Every structure is written in C-alpha cells, then in structure tokens.
Structure 1
Amino acid sequence: MARINKDIFASVFFIFFSITMFFASNSIIKLTVSRIGADFAPKLVAVGIFILGIFYLITSIKKQKQMNNLADTKTSEKESSTEEKKKISPLSVLLTVGLLVLYVVLMPTIGFLITTAVYLFFQMYLLAAKVERKIPLFVIISVVTSVTVYYLFKSVFYLMLPAGILG
C-alpha cells in the first residue's frame, strides 16, 4: 500500500515538473530564424514527461483500487511480497554503465546508426529476463529504432548525427 502511494506522489511530481520545465523553456533565447529553435528539445522532453506522468498516475490509481478490493485476500499479500523482493542486480547496473560509456566513446568513430543499433541490442538483452530473451526481436527493434531516429533527426529536424565509418 505504501508503494502505491509513493507511485501516486511520484507521478504527480513528474506532472508538475514537466509543466514547470515546459514554461521555463520559453525563456531560452532563439538564435535562429527557423521554427525549431533551442527551446524545441526541452519542450519535447517536457511533453513526454507529462504524458508518461499521466499514464503513471492512472496506473497507480488502478493498482490502488485493486489493492483496496483485494486487501482481505491472501493472494494480494503474496503478490505484493514477491513484487517487493525483486531487486536490481549490481552487475546489471555496472554493465549498463559500461555499455553507456562504450556508446559515447565509440559513436564518433563508428557512427550513430551502427553504435545505436548495437547498444540497443545489448541493453535489451541485458535487461530482459532469461526466459524472455528473443534475439530476432531485439535485432529488429534495434535496427528500426536506430534508422527511424537517424531519419527523424536528419530529414525532419535537419540536425547532423555522427556518420562514422558510413561516411
């Protein structure tokens, strides 16, 4: 029950944070004449945080209603106790940091497309449970995501990403 209340408070915090961030980004000085200026990325992130905060709030409220309905049964006690026992492995945290460092170091030489696809694949493989590791799916998601982000930044936002060995 305490976990659900923390989730509700966290979601409300993120909603207010995103609203503050959105309005604070209006004070960023535009140095270009294009429609996309320096304030675009912070506003985009703020909208994303706001949307995710709303989803998080709705999910937390639904969980609280379920917990209230099932408070008297033993099954809900077993589910909450197993949920609290799940811990993040320190090794996976270290491997994630290592992957991020490699990603940043290798991007200028190898390039955005290849580095991002490889990073995403290994990150998904690392974070997925052993039973849920689906290598072909991870490869498809990694490649499609890399190409989509590259196209979006290059063709829509007119921003350059490191080309690396692809030239």
Structure 2
Amino acid sequence: MNRLNRDTITAIVLLLVCGAFFWQTFYIREIPFSTMGSDVWPRFALTLMFVLVMIYLVQSVATPPAEGERRSLRAWLKGYSSAITCFGMFFLFLLALPYLGMLVSGALFVFLTQGIIGRRDPRSLLLHAIISIVAVGGMWAIFRYGLGVAMPVGELFR
C-alpha cells in the first residue's frame, strides 16, 4: 500500500496552507462601514479551495502512483506548456494593468490567452472576443457598479 506519491504530498501541503490561511481570517480587522464582515469572502474562497483540495487528495490516494519513468525537461515543458503560457500571459496582464486599466487589459488577457491556447480560425477568434468582452466586462460592471469597487482605469485612459 505504497500510495504516498507527489500528488498526495502536494494535497496534504495545500490542506495545511488552507488551514493556516483560514486561521488567519480570524485576525482580519472589521471595517465599520461594510455591509458584511471582512472575513466572509476569504473564508468562502478558502472553504471552496479546501473542498477542491480534499477531492484532489482522495483522487491522489485512489490512483496508484505512476511507475518510475524519468522524463526530460523538454517533455515536462511540453506537458505543462498551457499552464506555463497562462502564467506568462497573466504576468503580462499584471504589467499592462497600470497602463491599460482593468477592463482593457483584462479583456486582452482573456482574448490572447484563449487565442494562444485554443483554436485560431476566424469563427473561434470571434467567439474568443465575445467571451472576453462579456466575461471581463460583466465582472467589471458587477464590481464597479454593483459593489462600488474602484477599478483601475489605467494611465492611458485618464
């Protein structure tokens, strides 16, 4: 019953991190003018993360560990190319955020990431544009007008 593999260890570490972060939510300062507690959203996100990590832990224990096959760096990079691309695009999004603002840089991030990872035919590019405008524009409108959050406008649009 040698089921302690990398996924199991990763899940256990993530559970410990979730627990430590959840513990820290008890030290969040209450803001007097808020309509709900300042700890509600962090606890909600951490609870959701905890549930997902528990599913990950169960799957990692239920799945037998892979046989000891060595993989090269090239094979590893190829296997994780989509994730690496997403992290790179997110880094570029963070660099563009002060200049283009949340709405424009967010829509560009979603559109370009879908275009790089997904299909690139004209119909798919149109679908990517619609998804990016609706998703980012909708979230921006909810936070800006529904919740009253001041969203970054960007230096180019001031």
Category of TM-score, reference length = shorter chain: 0.5 to 0.7
- 1:147 alignment partner AA: G
Number of residue pairs the alignment of both structures matches: 149
Partner of 2:60: 60
Partner of 2:26: 26
Work out whether residues 119 and 125 of structure 2, in 8 Å CA contact, stay in contact via their aligned partners in 1.
no
Partner of 1:71: none
RMSD of the TM alignment (CA)?
A: 3.9
SS at match of 1:135: helix
Partner of 1:115: 105
Q: Which moved more, 1:20-29 or 1:101-110?
A: 101-110
In 2, Cα distance between the equivalents of 1:144 and 1:3?
44
In 1, Cα distance between the equivalents of 2:86 and 2:14?
28
Work out whether residues 7 and 57 of structure 1, in 8 Å CA contact, stay in contact via their aligned partners in 2.
yes
> Structure 1 length as normaliser, TM-score?
0.63
Q: Percent identity?
A: 20
Within 5 Å, which residues of 2 pair with 1:1-167? 5-36=5-36, 38-64=38-64, 86-88=75-77, 93=84, 96-97=87-88, 99-128=89-118, 134-164=124-154
> Structure 2 length as normaliser, TM-score?
0.66
- 2:125 alignment partner AA: I
Answer 1 or 2: which has greater helix percent.
1
For structure 2, which runs of at least 5 residues remain unmatched after alignment? none
In 2, Cα distance between the equivalents of 1:3 and 1:114?
47
In 2, Cα distance between the equivalents of 1:103 and 1:145?
16
For structure 1, which runs of at least 5 residues remain unmatched after alignment? 68-75
SS at match of 1:147: helix
